[in-house]
Structure 1
Amino acid sequence: MLTIENLYVRYGGIEALRGISMQIPEGKIVTLVGANGAGKSTTLRAITKLITPALGGITYKGESIMNCTTQDIVKKGITLVPEGRRVFADLTVEENLKIGAYTRKDQSEIRKDIDYVNDIFPRLKERKNQLAGTLSGGEQQMLAVGRALMSKPKVLMMDEPSLGLAPLVVKDIFAIIKEVNEKAGMTILLIEQNANAALKIADYGYVMETGSIGLEGPGMDLLNNEQVKELYLGKIG
């Protein structure tokens, strides 16, 4: 569904991505794990055209998206849940959800999708008139995911959804990611430092090391890989 081929990204003289290639098949959870500064977030920024790659190709459903704008990419069905959640603090929960549907005109369907998000996240329904800035970290992460779902994405990309959250909340967030994948058939590209949690739910995983893909394979295979255990699971998981 989404293919990255030989992708290079440079910041000045520094190569942040060094010829990475990845496949994100339809309906699957794919995770990209690695330490801080490995290039995980850069990969998502390149896909969404928040930065321009120096070389390589990105195709979606067989068509290049290299010349698309960020807005074009969202309209095609690729949505990013950014690191740090970035909800609109001075707007209510429901207003934040409506902003997620800014590219849509189908008001009756938007209402149905707000109801759908509220079914997945009952706490958001309880707090629909509450300012987003007053929510807990876990609730803000739920709102960030819900807002992304409002654009009716085909591919949901998530940048460090567990960052800064309490362990019990992290468990809930990963359960929700799995549920969205299974119930909605959503294709998910998950960027995570928490390699243990991410690989447990992933169909396939890539391990990134300083801008390159070091290892790849089914999620459970990587979880049981001695090299991955030594480098990442002990420190991160």
Structure 2
Amino acid sequence: MLKIDSLKVNYGGIQALRNISLEVPEGKIVTLIGSNGAGKSTLLRTISGLVQPAGGEISFRSSNITGLPVQKICTAGISLVPEGRHVFTDLTVEENLRIGAYTRRSKKEISDDLSWVYELFPRLKERSWQFAGTLSGGEQQMLAVGRSLMSRPKLIMMDEPSLGLAPLVVQLIFDIIKEINRRGVTILLVEQNAHMALKTADIAYVLETGSIVAEGSGQALLADERVRAAYLGKARQEKVCS
């Protein structure tokens, strides 16, 4: 579905992404893990058109979308749940959700999808009249995901959806990610909670200083000793125990 070939991104004199190549097959959950500054968010922002690449190609459903404007990429079927949620705090929950459908025209389809989002997130339905700024962090994350779904994407990209959330809410968010995927939406997930991300993903990539250094199934990387030591805290735990 999504194919990236030799993608390069520069910030001034710094090369943020170095010849990145990866694929996101249709119907799968693909995750990117890596430390802060590795280039994960930059990759998502480049795919969505917010950052222009210095080289390489991005293909979506066999069409070259490299460098296209954001609105055309969104209309093609790609949506982004940004890091930090970025909900419209002075608008209600329902107004935020309807903004996600701004490129669409069918009132019936929008209404049907609104019902689907409320089915996924009953808490949002209970708070549909509240201003988004009054929601908890977890509820705002649900709203950001729901707003993205309202564009009816074929591919949804999520940037750190569990960041700053309580463990019980993190589990809920990952359950929702799996449910969204079961309903036919392909997912590209950037996540610092490496254990949950690898446990959930069909395919995983490890990004370090702008380069992919490992790839495989989520379960394979979860069992990889180098990945465990670097991202799952094994080395730190052993140090504490000794």
TM range, normalised to the smaller chain?
over 0.9
What is the deviation of 1:49? 1.1
The answer (yes or no) to whether the contact 2:53–2:67 under 8 Å persists in 1 is no
Spell out, residue by residue over 1:136-172, the C-alpha distance to the aligned partner (whole angstroms, 9 max, x if none).
0000000000000000000000000011111111111
1: CA distance, partners of 2:106 / 2:57: 33
Q: Distance in 2 between matches of 1:68 and 1:230?
A: 39
Aligned with 1:181: secondary structure?
helix
Give CA deviations for 1:62-100 in whole Å, capped at 9, x if unaligned: 110014211000000000000000100000000000000
2:192 equivalent in structure 1: 193
Q: Please give the alpha-carbon distance, in whole angstroms, between the structure 1 residues aligned to 2:92 and 2:175.
A: 25
> Does 1:214 find its partner at 2:213?
yes
**Cα distance in structure 1, aligned partners of 2:66 and 2:179:** 31
Question: 2: CA distance between counterparts of 1:123 and 1:61?
Answer: 34
Indicate yes or no: 2:116 matched with 1:130: no
Counterpart amino acid of residue 188 in structure 1: I
Runs (4+) of structure 1 exceeding 4 A deviation are none
Query: Structure 2 CA distance, aligned partners of 1:39 and 1:221?
Result: 22
Q: TM-score, structure 1 length as denominator?
A: 0.98
Aligned to 2:72: 72
Task: Find the residue that maps to 1:86 and give its secondary structure.
Answer: coil
Q: Specify the alignment match of 2:11 in structure 1.
A: 11
Q: For the aligned residues, what is the CA RMSD? A: 1.2
What SS class does the counterpart of residue 187 from structure 2 fall into?
strand
Q: Aligned to 1:72, what secondary structure does the other structure show? A: helix
Q: Is the 8 A contact 2:52 2:67 kept in 1?
A: no
What is the DSSP-based 3-state SS (H/G/I as helix, E as strand, rest coil) of the residue aligned with 1:91?
A: coil
Shift of 1:185: 1.0
Give, in angstroms, the shift of residue 36 of structure 1. Answer: 0.3
Question: In the comparison of the two structures, how many residue pairs are matched?
Answer: 236
Question: Residues of 2 paired with 1:229 and 1:171: CA distance?
Answer: 20
Evaluate the alpha carbon distance shift between residue 164 and residue 90 of structure 1 in structure 2; reply closer, same or farther with a 3 A threshold: same
Q: Which residue does the alignment assign to 1:29?
A: 29
Give the unaligned 5+ runs of structure 1.
Answer: none
> 2:239 is matched with which residue?
none
Match of 1:83 in 2: 83
Q: Label 1:46 to 1:67 Cα distance change in 2 as closer, same or farther (>3 A).
A: closer
Return the TM-score normalized by structure 2: 0.96
Cα distance in 2 for residues equivalent to 1:98 and 1:40: 28
SS of residue paired to 2:4 = strand
Find the counterpart in structure 2 of residue 41 from structure 1: 41
Q: Distance in 2 between matches of 1:49 and 1:61?
A: 16
Residue 20 (structure 1) shift: 0.7
Question: Which residue in the other structure is 1:112 paired with?
Answer: 112
Distance in 2 separating the partners of 1:153 and 1:61: 13
Distance 1:74 1:12 in 2: 27
Q: Structure 1 CA distance, aligned partners of 2:119 and 2:175?
A: 15
Q: Where does residue 145 of structure 1 map in the other structure?
A: 145
Please state how far the C-alpha of 1:40 moved relative to its aligned partner. Answer: 0.1
